[in-house]
Amino acid sequence: MTSTRAEIFRMVYYQSDLTRNSFMKQLHETTPNQRAFPSRFLMPLRSFLRLAAVFLVLLAPVMLSAQAPEPLHTASRQELDVIKVLLAQEAAWNRGDLTAFASGYKDSPDTLFITHQISRSYAGMLDQYKRDYPNRAAMGNLTFSELEVHTLDENFAVCIGKYHLDRGKKDGGNAGGIFSLVFEKTSDGWKIIIDHTT
C-alpha cells in the first residue's frame, strides 16, 4: 500500500514537472511582446489604437481652429469715420432727437429707406421715422452692435450690423434686427444713402 502511494506521488510530481518544463520552454520561445500581450489580447489592442488614431485625426482640425486666434484688424480712417456717424446717431436717438439722428442720412431725393416699406428721399425717410416713433417712450434706448465696415472705394462704403431697442411693453416692447447701410462721402462727411433694416 505504501509502495503504491509513493509511486502515485512520483507520477504526479513527474507530470507536474513535465507541465512546468513545457510551459517554460514555450515561454522562452515567444518574443517579449508576445509574453507581455498574449495573442487573444493583440486584436482588441490593435483595434483600440486604430480607433484612437482616427479620433485624433478627426479632432485635430477642430482643436487647432479653436486655439487659433482671429487675426487683428486695424480700422482705416474711412471705417472709423463711418462708425462715428453711427455712434452719433445712437447718441442722438437716445436723447430723443430724431432730427439729429436723421442728419446721418444724405439730404437727397435719391436716399432710400427700406424696412416694411420703401421710403424715397430724405424727407420721406424722416416722415416714416416720425410715424413709427411718435414720442420718446416709443423710441426707447437704441444700441448698435457687431458693426462691420467694408469700403468700396474712397467715396463709398457698406456697413452691416445689428440694432436693439430696449423699451417698455406698453410702448411696443423690445425690438431688434439687422441692417445694411450704403454710405457716400459727401462735402458734409459720410452720409447714408441707402438703409435696409429688418
pLDDT single digits (tens) 11-66: 444 444 444 455 455 545 555 544 444 554 445 555 655 665 555 555 555 554 55
Cell for 47? Answer: 483595434
pTM: 0.64
Segments making up each domain of the chain, as ranges: 2-67, 77-197
Q: What is the pLDDT of residues 134-171, one digit of tens each?
A: 999 999 999 999 999 999 999 999 999 999 999 999 98
User: What is the rounded CA–CA span in Å between residue 50 and residue 100?
Assistant: 67
Give ∠ CA 18-23-25 in degrees, rounded to 5: 95
Q: Collapsing DSSP states into helix, strand and coil, what is residue 182?
A: strand
Sign of CA dihedral 103, 122, 136, 190: negative
CA distances from 122 to 85, 139, 189 (A): 16, 19, 16
Nearby residues of 111 by Cβ (< 8 Å), 6 or more positions away: 105, 120, 121, 122, 125, 192, 193, 194
CATH class for domain 77-197? alpha beta
CA 47, CA 122: separation in Å to the nearest integer?
71
C-alpha angle 13-17-23 in degrees, rounded to nearest 5? 150
Q: Residue 104 has which C-alpha cell? A: 446721418
**DSSP states of 92-122:** HHHHT-HHHHHTTB--STT-EEESSSEEESH
For residues 184 and 103, the answer to whether their CB atoms sit within 8 Å is: no
Q: How far apart are the first and last CA of the chain?
A: 109
Q: pLDDT tens, 166-190?
A: 999 998 899 999 999 999 999 999 9
Determine the length of the chain: 198
